[in-house]
């Protein structure tokens, strides 16, 4: 049965028009980029969002994390510890010298960017229920810890939370108080564990930007869960549940008071939700974001959402298998195509991040390439090289004279 087409209305111009400024390879090896993150990263105006962050952090299939100058894409530091796929990276807003990563190797790491080394490591006390070796050869001490699929640190920096892969139909979410971490062993003090709320991998963990005791999770069991960590019992702490009808691979808060949620799935469904006194209510669901976009916009997958607090707009960033990047403005019940970027990547995009005022974007893909897109308002150093042999194309226009649309203001 053919799915209904995503509601796409005519293109609007509400973001700066970006152009390709520079591309650089991540590695001399054949690798692809996993995730990008600004350091520092402040989402909301009350936290003094920085137009040009100090670093761009990049994780890749080489199990490395590199830090770059955002406007030159010049590598400045390399972080090496993980031995398997890196699932999550992020800045630590409570400490500009810290950085967080989680990996399938079973470790969550707090990095000290001054030394380039881990300052704390946090490891799952649980292990996979099954291993491939015969029973007579199994050694419990040699079992690897459960993969750490997601992690987040509260805005105060005091509570570190991580979620695991599922084992035996059960997944775990751990809570550490970073103030209780043992500085001598570089391990953290585990203070709490939830294991009743998830039946599959925990893929996303997001603390509320204003309330450290409110936590959002997404998992492969299709559920969005919101917890109130002021409640000691797991059942009492679970205050809202939303069924997205598909695996959750991206989720986050948005809105003036971060009262809204969004969820994306690897099947390219997209939904928005709002918190209420009764829990969580669905605002709108798009069954397949690939349906629509026009002749110049071929969407193959969704990347993530970006919320712009000053204009109170939510944007969905999507991509194509040939390296095109599309941006949609998300309304209450429709999406509006804003811009199409192409000419930088030749293969699928894995991540794309805007700076705070949306004057530039960095993207990374399976072609082992980082691309910088800019509107020209940020001065690039003289040694920054453009790529004259490429033919970047940007579909979009000026924002002058356009009224601001505020669908999430109450």
Cα 251 from Cα 206, distance rounded (Å)? 8
Confidence at 356, pLDDT banded by 50, 70, 90:
confident
Confidence at 406, pLDDT banded by 50, 70, 90:
very low
What pLDDT, on the 0 to 100 scale, is given for residue 139?
Answer: 57
Among 22-26, 56-60, 79-83, 139-143, the least confident range: 139-143
Instruction: Provide mean pLDDT across the span 140-152.
Output: 85
Cα 300 from Cα 298, distance rounded (Å)? 7
Residues with Cβ within 8 Å of residue 294, at least 6 apart in sequence: 8, 11, 337
Instruction: Provide mean pLDDT across the span 89-96.
Output: 92
What pLDDT, on the 0 to 100 scale, is given for residue 327?
Answer: 95
Q: Summarize pLDDT for 232-271 with one digit per residue, the tens.
A: 899 999 999 999 999 999 999 999 999 999 999 999 999 9
Indicate whether 177 belongs to any domain: yes
Please, what is the average pLDDT of the chain?
A: 86
Domain residues for 65? 8-128+144-395
Task: Check pLDDT > 60 for residue 109.
Answer: yes
What pLDDT, on the 0 to 100 scale, is given for residue 410?
Answer: 39
Are the C-beta atoms of residues 391 and 23 closer than 8 Å to each other?
no
Q: How many CA atoms lie within 13 A of 1 on its CB side?
A: 3
DSSP states of 237-259: HEEEEEE-SS---EEEEESTTS-
Are the C-beta atoms of residues 87 and 150 closer than 8 Å to each other?
yes
Confidence at 186, pLDDT banded by 50, 70, 90:
low
Are the C-beta atoms of residues 131 and 121 closer than 8 Å to each other?
no
β-strands 393-395, 335-342 pairing:
antiparallel
Counted domains in the chain? 1
Indicate whether 57 belongs to any domain: yes
- 42-51, 184-193, 296-305: range with highest mean pLDDT: 296-305
Token reading at 288: 């397949």
Are the C-beta atoms of residues 23 and 349 closer than 8 Å to each other?
no
The distance of Cα 142 from the centroid of its chain, to the nearest Å, equals 32
Instruction: Provide mean pLDDT across the span 76-92.
Output: 97
Instruction: Provide mean pLDDT across the span 361-375.
Output: 96
What pLDDT, on the 0 to 100 scale, is given for residue 135?
Answer: 47
Beta bridge partners of 9: 336
Element spanning 241, H or E: strand 238-243
Of 264, 351, 266, the closest CA to residue 314 belongs to 264
Indicate whether 3 belongs to any domain: no
Q: Summarize pLDDT for 199-233 with one digit per residue, the tens.
A: 999 999 999 999 999 999 999 999 999 999 999 89
Cα 194 from Cα 49, distance rounded (Å)? 33
pTM: 0.86
Are the C-beta atoms of residues 241 and 223 closer than 8 Å to each other?
yes
Confidence at 387, pLDDT banded by 50, 70, 90:
very low
- CA distances 166 to 30, 83, 192, Å, are 30, 20, 18
- Whether a cis peptide bond, with omega within 30° of 0, leads into 40 is yes
Do you know the residue count of the chain?
Answer: 410
Indicate whether 133 belongs to any domain: no
Task: Check pLDDT > 50 for residue 407.
Answer: no
More confident residue, 169 or 393: 169
Q: Is 231 left (phi over 0), alpha (psi -120 to 50) or beta?
A: beta
Cα 47 from Cα 55, distance rounded (Å)? 17
Task: Check pLDDT > 80 for residue 390.
Answer: no
More confident residue, 233 or 297: 233
Indicate whether 408 belongs to any domain: no
Indicate whether 410 belongs to any domain: no
Instruction: Provide mean pLDDT across the span 100-116.
Output: 96
Task: Check pLDDT > 90 for residue 365.
Answer: yes
Indicate whether 400 belongs to any domain: no
Instruction: Provide mean pLDDT across the span 164-178.
Output: 94
Indicate whether 236 belongs to any domain: yes
Q: 67: domain CATH number?
A: 2.130.10.10
Of all residues in the chain, the percent with pLDDT exceeding 90 is 70
């Amino acid at each position: 049965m053919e799915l209904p087409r995503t509601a796409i209305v005519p293109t609007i111009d509400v973001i700066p028009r970006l152009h390709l400024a520079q591309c650089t390879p991540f590695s001399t090896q054949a690798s692809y980029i996993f995730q990008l993150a600004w350091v520092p990263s402040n989402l909301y105006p009350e936290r003094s969002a920085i137009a040009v962050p100090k670093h761009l952090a990049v994780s890749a299939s080489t199990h490395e994390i590199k830090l770059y100058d955002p406007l030159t894409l010049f590598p400045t530091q390399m972080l090496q510890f993980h031995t398997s796929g890196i699932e999550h990276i992020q800045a630590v807003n409570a400490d500009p010298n810290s950085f967080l990563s989680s990996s399938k190797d079973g470790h969550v790491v707090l990095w000290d960017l001054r030394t380039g080394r881990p300052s704390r490591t946090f490891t799952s006390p649980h292990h996979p229920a099954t291993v491939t070796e015969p029973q007579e050869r199994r050694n419990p001490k040699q079992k690897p810890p459960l993969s750490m699929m997601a992690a987040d640190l509260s805005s105060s920096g005091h509570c570190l939370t991580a979620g695991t892969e599922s084992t035996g139909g059960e997944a775990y979410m751990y809570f550490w108080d970073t103030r209780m971490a043992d500085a001598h062993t570089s391990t953290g003090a585990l203070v709490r564990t939830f294991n009743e709320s998830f039946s599959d991998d925990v893929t996303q963990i997001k603390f509320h930007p204003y309330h450290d005791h409110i936590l959002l999770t997404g998992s492969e069991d299709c559920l969005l869960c919101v917890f109130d960590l002021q409640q000691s019992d797991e059942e009492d702490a679970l205050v809202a549940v939303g069924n997205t009808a598909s695996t959750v691979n991206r989720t986050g808060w948005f809105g003036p008071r971060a009262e809204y949620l969004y969820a994306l799935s690897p099947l390219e469904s997209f939904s928005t939700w709002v918190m209420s006194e009764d829990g969580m209510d669905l605002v709108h669901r798009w069954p397949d974001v690939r349906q629509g976009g026009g002749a110049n916009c071929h969407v193959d997958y969704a990347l993530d959402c970006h919320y712009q607090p000053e204009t109170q707009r939510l944007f969905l960033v999507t991509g194509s298998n040939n390296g095109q990047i599309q941006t949609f403005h998300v309304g209450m019940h429709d999406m509006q195509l804003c811009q199409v970027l192409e000419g930088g990547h030749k293969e699928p995009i894995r991540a794309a991040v805007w700076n705070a005022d949306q004057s530039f974007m960095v993207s990374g893909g399976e072609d082992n390439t980082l691309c910088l897109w800019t509107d020209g308002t940020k001065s690039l150093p003289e040694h920054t090289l453009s790529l004259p042999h490429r033919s970047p194309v940007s579909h979009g226009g000026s924002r002058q004279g356009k009224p601001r649309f505020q669908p999430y203001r109450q």
